[in-house]
Amino acid sequence: MNFHKKSVARRVAILCLVLFAATLTPSGKSQAQEIEVADVMEVVGEAYEALVKAIMLVPVLELASDTPYGEIARRAKEIENASKQLPFADSLKGDQTVIALSHQLRGRAALLRKSAAKNNFSALSSPLIDLRRTCLQCHSEYRF
């Protein structure tokens, strides 16, 4: 009886240790896949090109009233989402400049999205230029 109790207690203790150890093992491998800067930038670059086209070209070639506001809002949102991943990308992790500039990128893309949501054509080009400044600032920070 006493022996049986001890053995149960031991099993419980071992189980606890195993469960505890599981919480300690590095979760790097089981975590979501690594984020590559180049992959994030591919999305950002494509979205930015689409924004330039939608904001600068379409209204010039056609009419300001044909401005694809939905597309602009969608592309701006893509940049906002990508900017959230940027500080976690492999080679940039924890870099204070990257954190600050990613935050700025998100804010400026959000401004663009909000102007698009209001169908406010005249409030699109200046946030687009500001957005571009953030791209350039970060790229020059990394010397290219």
Using CB under 6 A as the binding rule, whether residue 86 contacts ligand HEC is answered as yes
SS3 labels along 87-134: HHCHHHCCCHHHHHHHHHHHHHHHHHHHHHHCCCHHHCHHHHHHHHHH
Complex with ligand HEC: residue 36 or 66, whichever CB lies closer: 36
What is the spatial distance between Cα 55 and Cα 57, in angstroms, rounded to a whole number?
6
DSSP string, 38-87: HHHHHHHHHHHHHHHIIIIIHHHHS-GGG--HHHHHHHHHHHHHHHHHGG
Q: Which residue among 35, 43, 45, 52 contacts ligand HEC (CB under 6 A)?
A: 45
Binder of ligand HEC out of 10, 11, 93, 139 (CB under 6 A): 139
C-beta of 71: minimal distance to ligand HEC in Å?
16
Which listed residue (41, 43, 73, 123) binds ligand HEC by CB under 6 A? 41
- In single-letter form, the type of residue at position 128 comes to L
Nearer Cβ to ligand HEC, position 48 or 69? 48
Name which of residues 5 to 34 contact ligand HEC (CB under 6 A). Answer: none
The answer to whether residue 93 forms part of the interface with ligand HEC (CB under 6 A) is no
Residue 111 lies near ligand HEC (rule: CB under 6 A): no
- Residues whose CB is less than 8 angstroms from the CB of residue 91 and which lie 6 or more positions away in sequence, other chains included: 37
Which residues of this chain interact with ligand HEC, rule CB under 6 A?
A: 37-38, 41-42, 44-45, 48, 79, 86, 98, 101-102, 105, 131, 134-135, 138-139, 142
